[in-house]
Amino acid sequence: MEKQIKEHFSNEVLNKAISLYDIQIVACKEIRSNNNFIYEINDDKESFILRITHQKQKTKELLIAEHDLINYYNVRHIKTCLPIVSKEGEIVNTVNLHGGYYSILYEKINGVQYSMTAWNRKLFFKWGELVGRTHKIAEDYDPNGLIHRRLDWHYDFLAPEKYLPKSKEEVFRKIIEFKKRIEKYNSNQEQLQLIHNDINPSNFIEDDNELTLFDFDDCHFDYLLSDIANAMLYVLDIPILYASRNLPMSRIELGKLFFDSFFSGYYKHTSNKLDVSFLNLLILRRIANLYVDFYRSYDIEKFIKIHPLVFTAFENAILNEEAIIDDSIL
């Protein structure tokens, strides 16, 4: 989220958004503010999740399209957090303050979220199943004229030429190079479809042996493999950052466990034959996206001071084209 949007957000916007719904609030706490402002709010009976998005971040048309996909998944037995209509009977509601925001209220699903210490073969299998199921049912998804983001949204949305300083020209050249190399795969149309693009344990919970998927903010048309590239970066991280976690399992051991378990679950639900030869390239694209977002969303000098290892690791991974997935795993 752009720094200026965070700076101008106020309780006035939050209170106005809450007033659009027929609920009596007894508690409200912020969960996070990244690309959206996310709050958990409670009345005397239930809990809800309120999402507030600035109009610079996403159009109303994109939000409506996003919720069409949420409903599509839910009808086809992939459990999602469903939206709640406002007093006006709308899912996507407008808050006309400080440049304009959109608010969406969701039901809150209770369940367990997995931490790194709880990662195991069973979780990775379920994770693969979930991704495989979304890929399988999206094969027949018809947007019905709704506008979804296309493959290039990664680049267009973050605009590295806008946010990166001139001193990072070499990083910028690498990002352009990654983009051009990925474009060479565009002829493989059967591996391009609408995906969630951020399926990881921070975006699903488990209750009664069933996973509920949420946070569709990054959904767009892209390679199926992008869902898996993002998952593998989430698990394995950049090597120097993984080492800082002090986990009991080596990266190679964890990578093999994840790869075998995840794909066992994935291929239970789809026969897609994914071209893993450019898996590392898609992971580098993800790393580049996050790197640009450091500049876009934060006071970069403060960020580097607080997270020097993270910043250096991301920059070096881009410049050195670091292979996150070892050949022995692939």
Look at residue 314 in the predicted model and tell me its pLDDT: 98
CB atoms within 10 A of CB 173: 11
Residue 256 has pLDDT above 80, yes or no: yes
Question: Which phi and psi angles does 220 have, rounded to 5°?
Answer: -170, 175
> For residue 190, is pLDDT > 80?
no
Alpha helices in the chain (DSSP H): 3-8, 11-19, 60-75, 121-138, 153-158, 160-163, 169-183, 224-236, 239-244, 251-266, 279-297, 300-306, 308-319
Amino acid at 156: D
* Residue 237 backbone dihedrals phi, psi, to 5 degrees: 60, 175
CA distance 167 to 17: 41
- Residue 87 pLDDT: 95
Model confidence, pTM = 0.93
Q: Give the pLDDT band (50/70/90) at residue 70.
A: very high
Read off the DSSP letter of residue 329: T
State the residue for tokens 């659009």. Answer: 20
DSSP for 176-243 reads: HHHHHHHHGGGG-GGGEEEE-S--STTSEEEETTEEEE---TT-EEEEHHHHHHHHHHHHH--HHHHH
- Note whether 134 and 200 are within 8 A (CB): no
The CA distances from residue 90 to 18, 61, 102, 145, 326, in Å, are 14, 13, 11, 19, 48
pLDDT band at 5, cuts 50/70/90? low
What's phi and psi for 159, nearest 5 deg?
A: 45, 70
115: tokens are: 């931490």
Q: Which amino acid is at 262?
A: F
Residue 188 has a pLDDT of 58
Q: What mean pLDDT is reported for the chain? A: 91
Residue 2 has pLDDT above 80, yes or no: no
Ordered domains of the chain (ranges, CATH):
3-107 (3.30.200.20), 116-319 (3.90.1200.10)
The answer to which of 134-138, 162-166, 167-171, 207-211 has the lowest mean pLDDT is: 207-211
> What average pLDDT does the segment 224-232 reach?
95
**pLDDT for 92 beyond 80:** yes
For residues 234 and 254, give the distance between their C-alpha atoms in angstroms, rounded to a whole number.
Answer: 12
Q: pLDDT at residue 34 above 80?
A: no
pLDDT confidence of 248, banded at 50, 70, 90? confident
Give the separation between CA 272 and CA 257, rounded to whole angstroms.
21
What pLDDT score was predicted for residue 38?
94
Which tens digits make up the pLDDT trace of 119-131?
A: 899 999 999 999 9
Confidence of residue 187 (pLDDT cuts 50, 70, 90): low
- What is the average pLDDT across 35-64? 92
The DSSP code for 275 is -
Cβ(170)–Cβ(160) below 8 Å: no
| Residue 80 per-residue DSSP state | B
- DSSP symbol at 114: P
Q: Determine the distance from the C-alpha atom of residue 47 to the mean position of all C-alpha atoms in its chain, rounded to a whole number.
A: 23
On the question of pLDDT at 157 being above 90, the answer is no
Most confident of 20-29, 149-158, 252-261, 268-277: 252-261
Mean pLDDT of 50-65: 94
Q: What percent of the chain has pLDDT over 90?
A: 71
Q: For Cα atoms 209, 229, 133, give the angle at the middle one, nearest 5 degrees.
A: 40
Which are the contacts of 207, defined by CB distance < 8 A and separation ≥ 6? 109, 110, 111, 112
